Structure 1
Amino acid sequence: MFSVTVREHFMIAHSFRGEVFGPAQRLHGATYVVDASFRRPELDADNVVVDIGLATTELKRVVGEFNYRNLDDESEFADLNTSTEFLAKVIADRLADQVRSGALGEGAHGLTGITVTLHESHIAWASYERLL
């Protein structure tokens, strides 16, 4: 299996509901480093997994929708705990939509999976892996 990973970062504010989250129930900020890995079993006709420039552009566009936002104020996240795991899935799903739309180039239609990893810090991160 071949893979290509691109990286971006974004900053958000949010809070959580539920005693399990302790002090994180209060509004707090997070700066995430996000890695998006695209994979396929065979290289495309140009011997690449995906156009790195297009993958970088689309990752930046997707996470830019969250950057400098308080997710508690966003209607799509109303009453949801926007955990790191949850956000990794949201980003992976949006990138999958971009693959399907052709935004990552025609060669990207041969991709078989995407993994998004959100790094909360140098010691903690979460990932979501999905098929295409």
Structure 2
Amino acid sequence: MFAITVRDHFMVAHSFRGEVFGPAQALHGATYVVDAVFRRAALDDDGIVVDIGLATAQLGEVLGELNYRNLDDEPAFAGHNTSTEFLAKVVADRLADRVHAGALGEGARGLAGIGVTLHESHVASASYERAL
């Protein structure tokens, strides 16, 4: 399996429901470094997994929809704890939608999957992987 990874970051405010979250139940900020991995079994006719420039731009656009937002105010997240794991899935699913819409070019049609890792600190991260 071949893969390329592109990286960006975003900043949010949010709070959590549930005793397991302790002080994070209160409104707080988070900055995530995001790695998006695009995978395919064989390289395309150009010898690449996907256009890195397009992948980087699309990741930036997806994260731009979340950046500097209070996620508690976002209707799409109503009733959800916007945990790092949850947000990794949101980013992966939104990137997958863009792949299917052709935003990553014709070469992206052969992609097998996407993995997204959100690094919330230098010691902790959460990931989500999905097929395309």
TM-score range (shorter-chain normalised) is: over 0.9
Residue identity over aligned pairs, in percent, reads 77
User: Within 5 A, what are the aligned runs for 1:58-69?
Assistant: 58-69=58-69
- Confirm whether residue 10 of structure 1 aligns to residue 16 of structure 2: no
Normalising by structure 2, report the TM-score: 0.99
| Structure 2 residue aligned with 1:74 | 74
**3-state SS of paired residue (1:11):** strand
Measure the CA separation in 2 of the matches of 1:97 and 1:76: 16
Stretches of structure 1 lacking an aligned partner (at least 5 in a row): none
Stretches of structure 2 lacking an aligned partner (at least 5 in a row): none
1:84 alignment partner AA = T
2:89 alignment partner AA = K
Deviation by residue 1:75-129 (Cα, 9 ceiling, x = unmatched): 1111210000000000000000000010000000000000000000000000000
Measure the CA separation in 2 of the matches of 1:121 and 1:3: 24
Normalising by structure 1, report the TM-score: 0.99
1:92 alignment partner AA = A
Deviating beyond 3 angstroms after TM superposition, the runs of 4 or more aligned structure 1 residues are none
User: Within 5 A, what are the aligned runs for 1:43-122?
Assistant: 43-122=43-122
1:127 alignment partner AA = S
| Structure 2 residue aligned with 1:38 | 38
Measure the CA separation in 2 of the matches of 1:88 and 1:79: 17
Measure the CA separation in 2 of the matches of 1:90 and 1:19: 24
1:47 alignment partner AA = G
Deviation by residue 1:26-51 (Cα, 9 ceiling, x = unmatched): 00000000000000010000000000
**3-state SS of paired residue (2:20):** helix
